[in-house]
């Protein structure tokens, strides 16, 4: 199908984006899987220098509010742009899945940065640039799958994969948002402290656990190879980060709860 037939013919830029993603979809999915491996291996040795792990020596920085918004906006705008250029943009299943995506990334790119305290540590430009590149790759291929390539059958709204995946996504979203709210409340009160409440009772990083659940739920609901690649990349990025947070808590707070795991309640 041509880009024009796919619905982006009235907007040449969107048509060109759609045609490029359509021609390179499988290669982009494989690239994302390769990036997951590289990211996991790199983060086993290097703790990304932002947030509580910020440290000098990583070049120019941006204020946290600006940096987070700039880094995450490509995930929102890239998805919406490719979705708008696709032939399935008006169908119920793509609209439902697209709503889930936009719900997460509207919060991540607009609401979350605005809620950061003024004292939040600046983010290195190199971290922002890497995040932007990944989001610019990831968002269009996921939008292309749900709004163009998947061609969901008429009964997909009642399919167990969409129902279970949607429930898992929403549960992960709730966990992620609640944990972020607790962390932000703690930061606004002053210096870093030991978070309490919610799933912090059992793990150091429920925000990361929630985000991983979100994207595995998305991958199942969308029945998407791009979704699976994204879920695996999310794990590759957040598992080492959770391990670093867990070590940091134990090093900084001698009375940190000994039965609290890093990421998975009762296990790890």
Q: What is the pLDDT of residues 34-63, one digit of tens each?
A: 999 999 999 999 999 999 999 999 999 999
Task: Give yes or no for a contact between 158 and 221, defined as CB atoms under 8 angstroms apart.
Answer: no
**Which residues are CB-neighbours of 178 under 8 A, at least 6 positions away?**
198, 199, 206, 210
Q: Say yes or no to pLDDT of 221 above 90.
A: yes
Average confidence (pLDDT) over 90-108: 98
d(CA 83, CA 79): 6
pLDDT for 169 equals: 98
**Cα gap 45→145, rounded to integer Å:** 34
187 pLDDT tier (thresholds 50, 70, 90): confident
Whether the Cβ atoms of residue 36 and residue 232 lie closer than 8 Å to each other: yes
pLDDT at 3 over 70: no
Q: Say whether pLDDT at 16 is over 80.
A: yes
Position 4 pLDDT exceeds 70 = no
Residues 6+ positions from 176 with CB-CB distance below 8 Å: 206, 207, 210, 211, 214
What is the spatial distance between Cα 78 and Cα 198, in angstroms, rounded to a whole number? 33
Work out the pLDDT band at 5, boundaries 50, 70, 90.
very low
Q: Which pLDDT does position 10 carry in this prediction?
A: 52
- Round the average pLDDT of the chain to a whole number and report it: 94
CA 135 from chain centre, in angstroms, equals 9
The whole-angstrom separation of Cα 16 and Cα 23 is: 11
Return the domain boundaries, the chain. Answer: 4-252
For residue 1, is pLDDT > 50? no
Q: Is residue 203 helix, strand or coil?
A: strand
82 three-state secondary structure: helix
Instruction: Report the distance separating Cα 64 and Cα 113, nearest Å.
Output: 7
pLDDT value at residue 6: 44
CA angle 115, 180, 127 (to 5 degrees): 75
Q: What was the pLDDT predicted at 172? A: 98
- pLDDT, residue 114, reads 96
For residues 218-226, give the mean pLDDT.
98
- pTM here? 0.94
What pLDDT does 192 receive?
82
């Amino acid at each position: 199908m041509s880009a024009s037939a796919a619905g982006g013919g009235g907007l040449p830029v969107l048509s060109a984006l759609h045609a490029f993603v359509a021609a390179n979809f499988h290669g982009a999915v494989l690239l994302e899987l390769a990036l997951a491996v590289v990211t996991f291996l790199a983060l086993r040795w290097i703790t990304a220098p932002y947030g509580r792990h910020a440290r000098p020596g990583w070049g120019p920085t941006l204020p946290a509010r600006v940096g987070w918004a700039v880094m995450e906006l490509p995930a929102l705008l890239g998805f919406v742009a490719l979705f708008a250029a696709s032939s399935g943009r008006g169908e119920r299943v793509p609209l439902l899945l697209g709503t889930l995506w936009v719900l997460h990334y509207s919060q991540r790119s607009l609401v979350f940065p605005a809620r950061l305290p003024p004292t939040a540590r600046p983010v290195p430009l190199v971290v922002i640039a890497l995040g932007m590149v990944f989001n610019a790759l990831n968002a269009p291929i996921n939008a292309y799958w749900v709004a163009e390539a998947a061609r969901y059958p008429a009964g997909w709204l009642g399919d167990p994969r969409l129902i279970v995946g949607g429930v898992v996504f929403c549960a992960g979203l709730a966990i992620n948002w609640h944990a972020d709210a607790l962390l932000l409340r703690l930061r606004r009160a002053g210096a870093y402290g030991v978070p309490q409440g919610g799933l912090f009772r059992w793990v150091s990083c429920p925000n990361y656990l929630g985000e991983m659940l979100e994207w595995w739920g998305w991958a199942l609901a969308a029945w998407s190879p791009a979704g699976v690649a994204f879920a695996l990349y999310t794990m590759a990025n957040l598992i080492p980060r959770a391990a670093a947070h867990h070590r940091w808590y134990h090093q900084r707070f001698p009375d940190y709860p000994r039965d609290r795991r890093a990421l998975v309640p009762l296990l790890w």
